[in-house]
Amino acid sequence: MIEQQSRSLLNNHADLAANPRGRHDFGAQGWNVIVFQGLLFWVAAGTVTHGLNVVLPTLSGLYGLDYSTLLALATPASWASIFASPACAWLCEKRGVKFNIIVCLLACGLSFGALGYSTSYLSFVLLFGAVSFFGTGFAYVGGTALIANWFVRKQGLALGWCTIGQTLSSAFYVPTLAALFAWLGVRYGFWGISVIMLVMAVWAWLFIANKPEDIGRAPDNDAPGIDVRPLSTNGNNDYISRIRIRHLLKMRDVWLIGIATGGIYIMLVGVVGQFVPRIMEMGYPQSTAIFYMTVAALIGAPGAYGWGWLNHRLGIKRAILLYTLSWIVAIIVNMFAHHEVMLWVSLVMIGLCMPGATNLSTALIAAKFPRQNYIRAIAIVLPVQSVVRCCAFSILAFGLSWLGGYTGAYQLLVGVGVITLVLLWCTDITPVNV
């Protein structure tokens, strides 16, 4: 049965490749889901990661809190996102993906708004931990599950469009938040982002369905020839996966996917998280380094779609292997970027690689665990991925301290990339359908 489904999917991919118009025929409801998820990525990436560039110095100056201490506390606070995966996956199964997204948006909005009143280190840790938890819950658990529900053959293309939002967050979230602080003041400026989350929650409530079948449609805008197994439902019309957690824990590929995608994020976080200091270490002023980071982020916008297109053309395993290899090459080029030409080559490569991690890691999980199985699988895979990803700063710190600076640190990142390639090569992506 699985082999027949795999052949059917391959044939359908070939049909779509021969019909460019059909590739992007997501339908009005499909495009609604794609744009919605793109904005979820924009808000979540900025709120959980990029916004710290403005939030930390602002809170430090407003309340007299030590900036270095706040920065150090942001890391353990962000570990709350590890627990978001199983908790929000459970909520998705019990009450539906849409319900989870709405609850997490509202809770994240309240938590982020309250950050403006963080007068102590304890309140900052608790509130930013809540922001990390619920931000992960609405975008990377609920949001990616929504995409897995709506798209089967065109998932790579859909994710390609969605992750443009995440890429543009790198360029525009920080200026938006800074403008809100200047316009409304610091305390009310935080609530400005919360209002955006409230609008997204209303959008989900009124215009988003858990799955296309709920509104009389089929995945991929009524794509013909897809063998989609009937879905077991409970009274709330939510998915019920028959895979048990204990079975997932015994699957080799679950661990390979979790560790390998975590390795990809080590390279991403290792490079992007130290992008500005790395450029400044080459002798450039901070303003130039920030400008180069913005340029790299804007270059990544077409790259977001490009990786989705490559997934669609080559299949997820070939695409993610090529993506990992591209990161390795980009890091090696950046090691020799003291010459301006090499610097710009590395900027282009890093920019193109930045948006591919979320796209391809999500697609890899969904390829192995389609549709109703996806939600249960990410309850295990994402925590493994998150734990591995958290090693990024430790690896960087060791390289910077003991291996001669950024050259040594980047050599470690290249080593992580090579190990990731091997793990991905060993991963069996045959869909699990039970």
Predicted local distance difference test score (pLDDT) of residue 105: 98
Any bridge partners for residue 239, and if so which? Answer: 233
Kind and range of the H or E element at 413? helix 406-425
Q: pLDDT by residue (tens digit) across 277-315?
A: 888 889 888 788 878 888 888 888 888 889 989 998 999
Q: DSSP character for 214?
A: G
Predicted local distance difference test score (pLDDT) of residue 222: 60
Kind and range of the H or E element at 378? helix 372-389
Q: First and final CA of the chain: distance in angstroms?
A: 10
On whether the CB atoms of residues 118 and 59 are closer than 8 A, the answer is yes
Residue type, 207: F
Report the alpha-carbon distance of residue 338 to residue 383 in Å, rounded. Answer: 37
On whether the CB atoms of residues 4 and 227 are closer than 8 A, the answer is yes
Predicted local distance difference test score (pLDDT) of residue 241: 66
Predicted local distance difference test score (pLDDT) of residue 24: 64
On whether the CB atoms of residues 341 and 123 are closer than 8 A, the answer is no
Residues of the chain with pLDDT under 70: 1-24, 222-241, 434
Predicted local distance difference test score (pLDDT) of residue 227: 46
By C-alpha distance, which of 82, 314, 101 is closest to 204?
A: 101
On whether the CB atoms of residues 92 and 142 are closer than 8 A, the answer is yes
Cα dist from 178 to 13, 34, 133, 173, 191, whole Å: 44, 27, 23, 9, 13
What are the backbone angles phi and psi of residue 233, rounded to the nearest 5°? -135, 155
On whether the CB atoms of residues 391 and 266 are closer than 8 A, the answer is yes
Predicted local distance difference test score (pLDDT) of residue 233: 39
Predicted local distance difference test score (pLDDT) of residue 333: 95
The position carrying tokens 């215009």 is: 207
On whether the CB atoms of residues 17 and 313 are closer than 8 A, the answer is yes
Using alpha carbons only, how large is the chain's radius of gyration in Å? 21
Report the alpha-carbon distance of residue 19 to residue 54 in Å, rounded. Answer: 45
By C-alpha distance, which of 358, 421, 359, 415 is closest to 391?
A: 415
Alpha-carbon dihedral 236, 239, 244, 247, rounded to 10 degrees: -170
Cα dist from 213 to 209, 210, 238, whole Å: 9, 9, 11
CA dihedral for 276, 389, 113, 195, sign (positive or negative): positive
